[in-house]
Amino acid sequence: MSIAYFRAVSVGALGGLAAFLTLGPAAPYGAQLFAALIGWAGYIHLGGKLDGLKKSVPHDLLGVALAAVALLAAAHLPYGEVVSPAASTGIAVAITLVALVLSAKAPALAEWPVSLAAYATLLATSHADDLAALSPSNPALLAALSLIAGAILGYLADQLAEALLKLPLPGQKAPSAARG
């Protein structure tokens, strides 16, 4: 069998587990399925394996941090009294997105689209008022944790697929190293 079948099974199983956990037992703690899946996609985009996991975390954290800055700036800086809320949000988003793309000059943050996905995740799921609270329910913290959990799920899915590939199939004496 091809690794693609085992990967499909492992992604389906762990994706289903993620849905159950984020919508069930972890829901009261603010777990976000949307953010977990975005984190998983970033992990895959960055090459998967342990290296992809190591690369995805800084991208996710940067995206969430800059989105939080944009939301807080749009809501709390004095220019909000001079221009409309839409304009102040537009200015804050524009400035933080410039910073996000320029951060790609740092090798550890070179894949800025992954950071952009994390940025969008926070913008899609929170309000500036919620970000000002230093609490375990802070949306930036919850988004970051959910993104990182998604990357970890991607890593676990890869590991599960590799383990399944090594199992002998019915009627097979030993796993073939050439399967793929």
Distance of alpha carbon 24 from the chain centroid: 20
Distance of alpha carbon 5 from the chain centroid: 24
Q: How far is 76 from 88, CA to CA, in rounded Å?
A: 10
Q: What percent of the chain has pLDDT over 90?
A: 64
Q: Residue 15 above 90 pLDDT?
A: yes
- pLDDT band of residue 61 (cuts 50, 70, 90) is very high
Of 20, 12, 62, nearest to 40 by C-alpha is 12
For residues 82-103, average pLDDT? 91
**pLDDT single digits (tens) 146-159:** 999 999 999 999 99
Q: Residue 2 above 70 pLDDT?
A: yes
Q: Are 64 and 120 in contact (CB under 8 A)?
A: no
- pLDDT band of residue 170 (cuts 50, 70, 90) is confident
Convert the chain into a string of H (helix), E (strand) and C (coil).
Answer: CCHHHHHHHHHHHHHHHHHHHHHCCCHHHCCCHHHHHHHHHHHHHCCCHHHHHHHHHHHHHHHHHHHHHHHHHHHHCCHHHHCCHHHHHHHHHHHHHHHHHHHHHCHHHCCHHHHHHHHHHHHHHCCHHHHCCCCCCCHHHHHHHHHHHHHHHHHHHHHHHHHHHHCCCCCCCCCCCCCC
Which two three-digit tokens encode residue 146?
């959910």
- pLDDT band of residue 80 (cuts 50, 70, 90) is low
Q: Residue 119 above 90 pLDDT?
A: yes
Q: Are 147 and 64 in contact (CB under 8 A)?
A: yes
